Amino acid sequence: MSSQNTSENNDTLPGDSAVFYWRKLILAGILVLFIATNIALVKRYRYEKKMRVELVDKYQKIRSSLEAAGLQQAANWQAELQTWPIIEEGAILIQQKKYKEALKKFDTIASTGFEHVPIVYFFRGQVFGELGEHERAIRDLSKYYDIIASSHYTLYLRAKSYLGLGEKKLAIEDLKQAIQHAGNFAEAEALLKTIK
């Protein structure tokens, strides 16, 4: 038997066990780093979510106290401040072309009433247009334009939605008005040339 054990031990090269040991040690280290990173990310996400909820609660209390004191305009400003982090998240999602996720963000704001935050109409209208929901896009973009009448890009987006519905005449009107507002608006001019 001892001769068998020695022949089995002779099949492995000297240092194989050391290489195997170091490989196991390196893999274990990588695994520990991976787990630690994931734990840190989960903790950060939970902390940010908790802070966001606390911030919303804080702003809601401030708004309620301002409304109770008869300071409606100040309450509206406070509500607008409360919505900006969500608006920023939605705008980033639009840049990343994650339109359905962005729409969820803007619908969250809309569910609380957002007459005091007109930019939500703009972003939501843009998202509706990208999703092919042109009637809804036109509705929201028109609401925004009623408040911010100098927004040439709103007219451009609305024109694209009019085109999506086959309303060339309305699209041309919006594009001409957008070019007039902006002075130099290459995107609108290019789109207008394709219609004529």
- Sign of the torsion formed by the C-alpha atoms of 21, 23, 25 and 31: negative
- Is 55 part of any domain? yes
- Is 5 part of any domain? no
- Is 110 part of any domain? no
- Is 9 part of any domain? no
User: Are 171 and 164 within 8 A, CB to CB?
Assistant: no
- Is 107 part of any domain? no
CA angle, corner 45, sides to 50 and 62, nearest 5?
25
Residue 31: which pLDDT band, with cuts at 50, 70 and 90? confident
Contacts of 78 (CB under 8 A, 6+ apart): 59, 62, 63, 66
Number of domains in the chain: 2
Prediction pTM value: 0.60
Say yes or no: 130 and 191 in one domain: yes
- The CATH number of whichever domain residue 131 belongs to comes to 1.25.40.10
Mean pLDDT of the chain: 80
- Is 41 part of any domain? yes
Say yes or no: 122 and 195 in one domain: yes
C-alpha 99/C-alpha 127 separation (Å) is 6
- Of 47-51, 71-75, 92-96, 160-164, give the lowest mean pLDDT range: 71-75
**Alpha helices (H) in the chain, listed in sequence order:** 2-11, 16-68, 72-95, 99-110, 119-130, 134-147, 152-164, 168-182, 186-195
- Is residue 117 helix, strand or coil? coil
Q: What is the predicted pLDDT for the residue at 50?
A: 76
Q: Which domain holds residue 191?
A: 118-196
Say yes or no: 154 and 191 in one domain: yes
Q: Express each pLDDT in 172-183 by its tens digit.
A: 999 999 999 888
- Is 52 part of any domain? yes
Say yes or no: 24 and 92 in one domain: yes
- Is 177 part of any domain? yes
For residue 196, which amino acid is it?
A: K
C-alpha 109/C-alpha 107 separation (Å) is 5
